[in-house]
Amino acid sequence: MGRVTVSLDDLPLRDDLRGQKPYGAPQAPLPIALNVNENTHPVPDDVAADIVDSVAKAVTGLNRYPDREFSELREALADYLGHGLDADQIWAANGSNEVLQHILQAFAGPGRTAMGFAPTYSMYSLLTRGVGSEWIAATRGSRFEITADDAARQVREADPDVVFLCAPNNPTGTPLALEVVEAVYEASHGIVIVDEAYHEFAPADTPSALSLLPGRERLVVSRTMSKAFAFAGARVGYLAADPAFVDALRLVRLPYHLSAITQAAATAALRHSAEMLRTVSDIVEQRDRISGTLDALGYDPYPSGSNFVLFGGVDDPHDTWKRLYDRGVLVRDIGIPGHLRVSAGTAEETTAFLDALAAIRSERS
C-alpha cells in the first residue's frame, strides 16, 4: 500500500504552533565542527573506562525500572555544586532543556507568560510556546549587556510568570552580575531561572547564583553536564532550588524519566569531576586566542564568559558561513545581522578556523 503524505497544514495541529520552526543547528559531517558549543575534547580514557564499567553493571538490571528518585546521582550533583546544597534541592533530567521544560510545565502553561532578554538561548521561547504560554522578549543594551535597574523595570512592567536569565548568555557570551539576578527576583512575583550552562568557563572568581538560593524559594539555578563535562551525548542536565520547588517538578515529570544507564554514566563521570574539568582551561585559552585573533583581523569579538565567541563586523554572515563551510569549518549563523558565533575547540581546530577566516578576509581585501 502506497504511503500517503500530507503537510502540517493538513493536520489538526494546535493553532499556536502553526508557522513555528523547530530548534535545529545545521548538522554536517565536516572535519571542524564549531557550531553548537560542544566540548570538543573527548572523555579521558580512564574516565571512559569507569563509565563503561558502571554502565555494564547497570545493564544487568535493565529488567527493572530505574531508581525513580535517582538518589545517588542527586547526592553526587549536590556534592559537586557545593554551597551547602543537599540532595533534596537537586533535580536532573535528560539534558537541561528537559529540566527547563519541567519548570515550565509546573509553573507556566496556558494563560501564563515567560520572559527572556533577547537575543538569548532560542530554546527558551520554543519551550515556552510548547507548554502553551506566551513568550515576552525583553531587550538588552547595545553590547548585549543587562543592567539591574533596566532588567527590574522590564520585569515589573511585563509581570511574567517565569523569567529566564542566561549567565553567561547564549549566544552572546555576555556575563551576568549577581546584582541583576537579585534585582529581577525582587521585581518578580514568579519563578526566576538562572541558566548557568556555561558557568565553568567563566573566570574562577565569578560568583554563582547558587549563593543566592537561601531564602529565595522562587529562584532556581540550572546547569548541564554537556559543556564543561564533555558529556553532550549523555544528555544530563540538572538544577538546584528549594526542596519545595523540586517537589513541584515531580508533578509533571514522566515516570522513571532518567534511565538506569544515564544515572550510572553521569554518577561515574562525577566521580572524576576534577579530571573531566581539566579541559576547561584549555578551552578558555583557545576562546581568548580566538577573540584576540578576530580583533587583529578587524572583526568585533564580544567579551565572553563561555566556551564560544560572538563576533561582529561580518559584512555578509551567510556568505562567510558558506565560505568557511566550503573549507571544512562549521560555525553558527545565529541570525543577528553582521554577526557569527564560533565555539572554542582544540588548538588544532581553532587554528583551522582562524586560518580559514583569515584566508576569506584576504580574498576580499
Q: How far apart are CA 74 and CA 263, in angstroms?
A: 9
* Closest to 66 (Cα-Cα) out of 76, 57, 75: 57
| Pairing verdict, β 113-118 and 162-166 | parallel
Q: What are the pLDDT digits (tens) for 133-184?
A: 999 999 999 999 999 999 999 999 999 999 999 999 999 999 999 999 999 9
- Give the predicted TM-score (pTM) of the model: 0.95
Q: How far apart are CA 50 and CA 272, in angstroms?
A: 9
Kindly list the structural domains of the chain, giving each domain's residue range(s) and its CATH number in brackets, ordered by start: 25-44+278-364 (3.90.1150.10), 45-271 (3.40.640.10)
Q: How far apart are CA 95 and CA 290, in angstroms?
A: 28
User: Within 10 Å of residue 16's Cβ, how many Cβ atoms?
Assistant: 13
Q: How far apart are CA 360 and CA 352, in angstroms?
A: 12
- Residue 2 scores a pLDDT above 70: no
Q: What is the dihedral of CA 118, 121, 125, 131, to 10 degrees?
A: -150
* Closest to 68 (Cα-Cα) out of 256, 229, 223, 205: 256
User: Within 10 Å of residue 60's Cβ, how many Cβ atoms?
Assistant: 9
| Pairing verdict, β 219-224 and 191-195 | parallel
Q: What are the pLDDT digits (tens) for 5-43?
A: 888 888 999 988 888 888 877 778 899 999 999 999 999
Beta bridge partners, 113, equal 134
